[in-house]
């Protein structure tokens, strides 16, 4: 029997997102082995948003985490994660919500990012009012053009400015390079080295000024194998824990296993050469082109031809043989936003659906 298939599939409502704990554990162990020192691994929890998967990471000795939302930070606090970086700019009501986590979860060290003096000043004032001190990282833009400040003198000035602010404890630099996606590992390495050199130069400059070892948190899944070999750098991949078809195709050197599978059903056969399944774009991430949203495991002869909220219409051979009610399994191309579409994950052990895990940081 194929690894993904359930022998009680007819008991599972669809669409469903199945997860396989043994494969998740394998992926966690592989990620740790790639970096050697588990204290340098700071996985992003945006991929899974799930307390049970977080607990598997904690059980493996991972103590540092990264997140993108207050809900994810809260989940990390509830689960007792020792060290949490909220790697998203804090503005408006999010500042107070973030600061409220500090006294609520005293055993968790929360950190934030800033990329502008005004944001740093506002966070400092709010922290003083709340009577707390917040670890802070300067968010760097290393080419993605999304958030952050470019490495160089302006970033050094912001670091020095933050060091003068009460309520903040500036600790180092944070950089995300999600734009680095070259399949060729040698090309990827060269780009990562070019991104890292100006950060390394800033760290040396600050050390010469007497600053004690500014930390560097950098990278995502594509660059993880590169930065894992850099000493004293924390790496923050996220997708590895569940993996997906997208990274499986573009990062061939990484041997993580797909650990999340979509289960859907044929709900109609509107023509002799087409079928319809219950996997609309409410059930699978749909930011990619139609042909790059999912990969069918047990039905490679099906090709998407239209997609709507509740339906996915597929071209099929004239003699396809599919019947209403047939179960089809697929890998998501992009698992992170696919997980965010589900309130719960269906847990699979020994090829049986045995229960569910709440996607806790989605619903808070």
Report the domain count for the chain: 2
Residues 218 and 289 in one domain: no
Residue 249 lies in a domain: no
The DSSP string of 58-111 is: HHTT--EEEESSHHHHHHHHHTT-SEEEE-S---THHHHHHHHHHHH-TTSEEE
Residue 2 lies in a domain: no
Nearest to 43 by CA among 17, 68, 7: 68
Residues 214 and 268 in one domain: no
- Mean pLDDT of successive 10-residue segments in the chain (364 residues)? 94 98 98 97 98 98 98 98 98 96 97 97 97 96 96 97 97 95 93 96 96 93 94 95 97 96 97 95 96 95 96 94 96 98 98 98 82
Residue 325 lies in a domain: yes
Tell me the sheet residues that pair with 265: 327
Residues 200 and 308 in one domain: no
Residues 145 and 265 in one domain: no
Given this model, what pLDDT does residue 205 score?
97
Q: Which helix (H) or strand (E) holds 268?
A: strand 260-271
- Judge contact between 242 and 342, C-beta under 8 A: no
Residues 192 and 229 in one domain: yes
CA distances in angstroms from 185 to 97, 175, 291, 299, listed in the order given: 40, 20, 26, 31
Given this model, what pLDDT does residue 363 score?
77
CA distances in angstroms from 226 to 6, 32, 189, 198, 229, listed in the order given: 37, 14, 6, 16, 6
Determine if the peptide bond prior to 275 is cis (ω within 30°).
no
Residue 1 lies in a domain: no
Residues 89 and 149 in one domain: yes
Global pTM reads 0.96
Residues 69 and 176 in one domain: yes
Residues 214 and 85 in one domain: yes
- Judge contact between 50 and 345, C-beta under 8 A: yes
Residues 224 and 266 in one domain: no
Please tell me whether residue 184 adopts helix, strand or coil conformation: coil
Given this model, what pLDDT does residue 284 score?
98
Domain limit, last residue, from 207, 242, 277:
242
pLDDT tens-digit readout, 205-262: 999 999 988 999 999 999 999 999 999 899 999 999 999 999 999 999 999 999 999 9
Domain extent for 221? 21-242
Domain limit, last residue, from 242, 276, 306:
242
Give me the phi and psi of 122, to 5 degrees please.
Answer: -65, -45
Say what percent of the chain tops pLDDT 90.
Answer: 96
The DSSP string of 188-254 is: HHHHHHHHHHHHHHHHHHHHHTT----EEEE--TTTHHHHTTSTTEEE---GGGT--HHHHHH-TT-
pLDDT tens-digit readout, 76-124: 999 999 999 999 999 999 999 999 999 999 999 999 999 999 999 999 9
- Judge contact between 226 and 188, C-beta under 8 A: yes
Residues 133 and 63 in one domain: yes
What is the CATH number for 131? 3.20.20.10
Residue 253 lies in a domain: no
CB atoms within 10 A of CB 288: 14
Residue 163 lies in a domain: yes
Domain limit, last residue, from 216, 242, 268:
242
Given this model, what pLDDT does residue 31 score?
98
Residues 299 and 162 in one domain: no
Given this model, what pLDDT does residue 212 score?
86
What is the CATH number for 311? 2.40.37.20
Given this model, what pLDDT does residue 232 score?
87
Given this model, what pLDDT does residue 318 score?
87
Residue 68 lies in a domain: yes
Residue 250 lies in a domain: no
Given this model, what pLDDT does residue 364 score?
63
Residues 68 and 159 in one domain: yes
CB atoms within 10 A of CB 156: 17
Task: Round to whole Å and give the CA distance between 240 and 223.
Answer: 12
Task: Round to whole Å and give the CA distance between 266 and 311.
Answer: 10
Task: Round to whole Å and give the CA distance between 34 and 18.
Answer: 26
């Amino acid at each position: 029997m194929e690894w993904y298939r359930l022998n009680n599939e007819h008991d599972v409502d669809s669409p469903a997102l199945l997860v396989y704990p043994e494969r998740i554990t394998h992926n966690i162990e592989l990620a740790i082995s790639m970096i050697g020192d588990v204290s340098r691994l700071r996985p992003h929890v945006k991929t899974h948003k799930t307390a049970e998967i977080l607990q598997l990471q904690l059980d493996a000795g991972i103590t540092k985490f990264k997140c993108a939302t207050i809900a994810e930070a809260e989940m990390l606090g509830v689960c007792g994660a020792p060290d949490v970086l909220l790697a998203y700019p804090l503005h408006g009501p999010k500042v107070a919500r973030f600061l409220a986590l500090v006294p609520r979860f005293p055993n968790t060290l929360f950190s934030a990012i800033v990329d502008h003096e005004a944001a740093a000043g506002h966070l400092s004032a709010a922290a003083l009012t709340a009577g707390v001190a917040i670890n802070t990282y300067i968010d760097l833009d290393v080419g993605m053009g999304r958030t952050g400040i470019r490495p160089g003198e302006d970033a050094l000035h912001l670091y020095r400015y933050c060091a003068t602010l009460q309520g903040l404890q500036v600790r180092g630099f944070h950089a995300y390079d999600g734009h680095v996606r070259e399949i060729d590992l040698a090309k990827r390495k060269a780009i990562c080295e070019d991104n890292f050199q100006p950060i390394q130069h800033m760290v040396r400059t600050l050390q010469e000024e007497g600053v004690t070892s500014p930390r560097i948190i950098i990278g995502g899944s594509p660059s993880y194998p590169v930065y894992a070999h850099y000493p004293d750098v924390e790496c923050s991949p996220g997708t590895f824990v569940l993996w997906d078809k997208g990274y499986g195709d573009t990062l061939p050197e990484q041997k993580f296993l797909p650990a999340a599978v979509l289960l859907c059903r044929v709900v109609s056969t509107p023509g002799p050469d087409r079928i319809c399944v219950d996997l609309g774009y409410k059930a699978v991430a749909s930011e990619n082109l139609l042909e790059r949203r999912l990969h069918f495991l047990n039905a490679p002869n099906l090709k998407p031809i239209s997609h709507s909220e509740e339906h996915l219409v597929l071209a099929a051979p004239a003699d396809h043989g599919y019947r209403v009610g047939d179960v089809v399994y697929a890998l998501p191309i992009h698992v992170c936003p696919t997980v965010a579409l589900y309130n719960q994950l269906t847990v699979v052990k020994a090829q049986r659906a045995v229960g569910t895990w709440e996607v806790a940081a989605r619903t808070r």
